[in-house]
């Protein structure tokens, strides 16, 4: 079984790359370094933190890479794809924590079991936390507030997550650090992209700058997607280097065109 399929576990490094892009390396962006420092401090303080921002800028990868280094065996991940009820949340936690047996059918028993499991030191990552309702946030706060638990919580998600946490004074006041993740500026793109993938290692910086200006806009998922198309294009055309013509061909794959009438 791959690490990705083991519920609640941190994904392996390869699974963090967009479409498991072959040859891609994790690079030390400012986002990654800032998130790692925040998570380190949060674990020391057993705090709640929130890493938020728009899609594709590297939030999940930064959180996962940091925790593979800082808390590889004590991290448990829950990822939300639709709005869960508190009952769903209890079940997600049960599975993410790898608790034995069947989930209890009564809420009181369930809460006792979860609180007991959280007496051991744990880091809980709630990814895509913008899907959590106020009640779910409240439930996590209840677990975290319990003086017997030893819990660090990392909320990661789109801006809805930030807004939800900010709108609840009980939660907002408990969040130890907020980290907003934005696009990489051009100087950072020029520094990290050559190390990200071998196709960029020897590329002309002007070509990288053109690609960022015209298509990637400092968004790491866009960089990974373009790189994926380019590796296919290089193979298909027997080229050894990326040039402007190939780059424009890759862009043509990214833009959605209106259907012809
Ligand atoms: N530091 C990095 N090094 C290498 N690749 C990176 C890095 N950060 C991000 N990426 C690439 O960008 C992709 C998108 O990153 P990630 O999934 O972390 O974005 P996100 O901010 O969590 O987006 P979403 O809000 O949609 O969940 C990754 O799958 C990976 O391919
Ligand atoms: Mg993410």
Place 1 in a pLDDT band, splitting at 50, 70 and 90.
very low
Q: How far is the CA of 13 from the centre of ligand 2 (A)?
A: 14
Domain 3-181 has CATH 3.40.50.300: yes
Q: What is the pLDDT of residue 156?
A: 96
Q: What is the pLDDT of residues 32-42, one digit of tens each?
A: 999 999 999 99
Which range (13-17, 119-123, 156-160) has the least confidence?
A: 156-160
Ligand nearest to the CA of 59: 1
> How much distance in Å is there from the Cα of 16 to the middle of ligand 2?
10
> Are the CB atoms for 234 and 246 separated by under 8 Å?
yes
pLDDT for the residue 257: 58
Of 10, 53, 61, best ligand 1 pocket probe by most atoms within 8 Å of the beta carbon = 61
- How far from the centroid of its chain's Cα atoms is residue 52's Cα? 9
Give the pLDDT score at 29.
Answer: 98
Decide: 180 in ligand 1 pocket, CB within 6 A. Answer: no
The answer to which of 134-138, 195-199, 240-244, 252-256 has the lowest mean pLDDT is 252-256
The model's confidence at residue 260, banded by pLDDT at 50, 70 and 90, is low
Residues whose CB is less than 8 angstroms from the CB of residue 2 and which lie 6 or more positions away in sequence, other chains included: 12, 15
Q: Is 103 left (phi over 0), alpha (psi -120 to 50) or beta?
A: beta
pLDDT higher than threshold 80 for residue 255: no
The string of pLDDT tens digits covering residues 49-108 is 999 999 999 999 999 999 999 999 999 999 887 889 999 999 999 999 999 999 999 999
> What distance in Å separates the CA atoms of residue 91 and residue 89, rounded to the nearest whole number?
5
Interval 166-183 mean pLDDT: 92
Tell me the ligand closest to 77's alpha carbon: 2
> 60 C-alpha to center of ligand 2: Å?
4
Give 65's contacts (C-beta < 8 A, 6+ positions apart): 13, 16, 26, 32, 36
pLDDT computed for residue 159 by the predictor: 76
For residue 4, what pLDDT is reported?
45
Look at 93 and 147; give whichever has higher pLDDT: 93
Rounded average pLDDT over 11-23: 96
Q: For residue 176, what pLDDT band results from cuts at 50, 70 and 90?
A: very high
Banded model confidence at residue 219, pLDDT cuts 50, 70, 90: very high
176 lines ligand 1 (CB under 6 A): no
Work out the mean pLDDT of the chain and round it to a whole number: 93
Domain boundaries, given as residue ranges, for the chain: 3-181, 186-254
Predicted pLDDT at 135: 92
């Amino acid at each position: 079984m791959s690490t990705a399929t083991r519920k609640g576990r941190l994904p392996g490094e390869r699974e963090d790359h967009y479409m498991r892009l072959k040859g891609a390396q994790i690079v030390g962006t400012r986002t990654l370094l800032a998130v790692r420092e925040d998570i380190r401090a949060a674990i020391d303080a057993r705090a709640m933190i929130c890493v938020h921002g728009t899609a594709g800028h590297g939030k999940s990868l930064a959180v996962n890479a940091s925790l593979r280094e800082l808390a590889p065996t004590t991290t448990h991940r829950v990822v939300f794809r639709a709005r869960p009820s508190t009952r769903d949340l209890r079940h997600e936690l049960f599975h993410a924590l790898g608790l034995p047996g069947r989930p209890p059918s009564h809420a009181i028993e369930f809460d006792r079991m979860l609180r007991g499991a959280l007496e051991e030191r744990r880091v809980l990552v709630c990814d895509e936390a913008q899907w959590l309702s106020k009640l779910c946030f409240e439930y996590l706060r209840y677990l975290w507030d319990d003086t017997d638990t030893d819990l660090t919580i990392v909320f990661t998600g789109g801006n809805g997550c930030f807004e939800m946490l900010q709108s609840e004074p009980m939660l907002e006041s408990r969040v130890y650090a907020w980290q907003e993740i934005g696009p990489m500026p051009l100087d950072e793109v020029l520094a990290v992209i050559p190390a990200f993938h071998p196709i960029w290692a020897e590329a002309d910086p002007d070509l990288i700058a053109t690609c960022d200006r015209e298509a990637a806009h400092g968004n790491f998922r866009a960089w990974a997607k373009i790189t994926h198309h380019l590796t296919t294009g290089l193979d298909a055309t027997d080229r050894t280097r990326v040039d402007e013509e190939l780059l424009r061909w890759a862009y043509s794959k990214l833009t959605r065109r209106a259907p012809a009438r």
